[in-house]
Structure 1
Amino acid sequence: MSLVVYLAAALLALTCVLLFRRPRSALRNPLTASTCAVVAIGAVCFTCSAPITLATVNRLTGIPNFGAPLTYGMISAYSCSWVVLLVQWRGGPPALLRRMTLVGTVVYGLLIVAIIVLFTLADAGTERLRDLGTYYANTPYMREMIVLYLVGHGACTLVMGVVCLRWMREVTGPLRTGLRLIVVGLVFDLVGFELAKITAVVARWLGHDLDFLSTTLAPPVVSVGALFCSAGFMLPRLLPPAITHWRSLSDYRTLTPLWREVRWAATTPKPEPSWWELPHARLQRLEVSIHDALLALTPHFDDHVRRISLATAIHDGKTPRQARVIAEAAMLADAARHADSPDGAPLGTSSGCRLRTLDGLGTRGLVELAQELGQSPVVAAARQGSVAASRE
């Protein structure tokens, strides 16, 4: 059991590190801060509930079962963090958000205080690391403490499920997928933890023994449920930037033929990527260097090469857009060849030639240009000097 909950705690802690990689910006954003709080408290909650942790806490404090109110209090704090996160995620007027956050915090704060008070009043001198809930199901004050934390956590789970199901009808994309994951996690939590624990406790009240539901079934099921919920909270936060960086990495690789073609003409330092640099930052630095090289090659652009290549591409069945990109890629390849030759004097800027493919397209225009540089036979002919051109 300890291995299962420790694994869940480790995964939640790793998630918290990923979300909290920029502490200053994370703390300024209530939504990010709330998400980090949910994941962090969840990791602490699972760590506290492991039998090894419970035994250690009991030994260090010298109080049998001291780990029980600690774990139940953390579960209540975990439920409170879910409520606060849902309030921040849903959004609304700042005053309303603050009021709802305060109400949720006060309610679960009082619940935690009640758990501590009931444990103090109870007679729980026998240490129970795995079956405390069922062993003390009929013990005064301990009975009320157990019921209280189960009711508090169950109420949070039900409210979260209803709100997520309603909200799911209004949103699309990663947010809707995240809500679905949360609902799946809440089902695991409600059935595998709440229902199992309550059934085992009620069975003890009625004189039966269904302790395996609480000791064997509930821990792994609630661990899986927590992972689903955490994934649902994180997905809308991490997926968009992950997609952006993935596309940036793809574009960075696609621009390699273009950079090889013009890198010798760049006046800025060669963009050497660092292992820690994110793909989007790498792509931006490479684009700056490419634009610098293209600017240096502008005086060598020959419109005659562009026109011949355009006619050839159209004759080969290319669309007007494709033909224009191929023609400008051929003009660029010819300019790079001519500028790199010993007698490559510039044509001068009076020709007015420029790469119109890049107008208003940014990275997309560079990517299209790079693709044609690497695969078009028309561009290959211009690179070899096979396109007829007149130099003035």
Structure 2
Amino acid sequence: MYITKIEVTDKRFNLGNGAGSDAVNDSTQYAYAICELHTDSSVKGIGLAFTLGAGNDLVCKAIQYLSETLQGREIEELMSDFGSVYRSILDSPTYRWLGPHKGVMQLALAAIVNACFDLWAKSRQVPLWKLLLDLSPKELVATLDLNYLEDVLTIEEAENILRNNLTGRTLRNRVLQTGYKAYDTSVGWFNYSDEKIKENVARAIDRGFTAMKLKVGSNDPLRDIRRAKLVRAEAGDRTTIMLDANQKWNLPQAISICKELSTINPYWIEEPTHPDDVLAHQTLAKEIAPLKIAAGEHIPNKIIFKNFLEAGAMDFCQVDCVRVGGVSEFLTISLLAKKFNVPVVPHVGDMGQIHQHLVLFNHVAIGHENLFLEHIPHLAKYFKNPANISGGYYAVPAEAGNSSDLVTS
């Protein structure tokens, strides 16, 4: 199956009514920069990168530049040593200067890489999760680029993590019958009224969710504390509640406000300060313990994830395959996190479409804890096969590919 044409699409969706709002993002326009790999058959690979609208066109242009070398490649041959292909795209000298490995170029890489994995799974007529689980440790690691990680994760170590977790797969395969637990991230968007939050909490519980998230980071910390107490009162003590500040606070503010918010017993505080400040997260982790820190939504690459993990600056790794360099780098970071015994709970810029496959692989093949996966429903109607949530669980996808095909308008 040969790649004959590469098509790039700028797709944007207006949400409205406060959905998608947080402490630093007023925009309610979600957007995908989409890479489509057409072939000499009717099959095509779809890859997504996620943005908030403005600038999506820049990512689309970068996809065109970075994907040129894929023209004419056969998918099995391409993926047999994809780690090398990945690095050659990633480190193309003139484009590397624009990063390296972050920003517009990294988002473009995500779309391209995700399209390659989607095409590979479709060519074998299996869902992405099954494609990945069927690969041997050596075959899986051949799709990764571990450059710059050799001090903490060698190729041999990565293969050994996978090989050592072959034992116990039968037990962990149970997730393929039960589905993967979800948490509702849409009960408490930043601009929602108290009444709206109350309604959403009750609705989430009725739908089987036992975990949910509230946006914090108000200019007035008392508003955050009041809203957090409101959610706890409405949801009850048995419900798991997470708080997300979306990078709003400086370190002194984060220390002070997190200590106040700890009174509602949150499961984590997400993105409490600037995502590049590893040492601030390290300090904060020590200051607010046992309250835990989740981070990764805006961490752009494996190197900075390595720094966070080495520093003990994150308790939950929220790597997102539509923000780092796609499925390949997501799997690399998942192996890194396993090395440091940190759970992976992805941020879902893809609305959970691809990540529902990846958390299944992480649990079954890597041995990551079966926790839960974020659920955001706002774009479900635009997907041909939207993530199916029933009783608070993601159903295991059955269609071939990575679930990124969108409906045609």
| TM score, norm. by length of structure 1 | 0.24
Q: Which has the higher helix share?
A: 1
Structure showing greater radius of gyration is 1
Higher relative contact order (CA 8 A, sep 6+): 2
Q: Which has the higher strand share?
A: 2
| TM score, norm. by length of structure 2 | 0.23
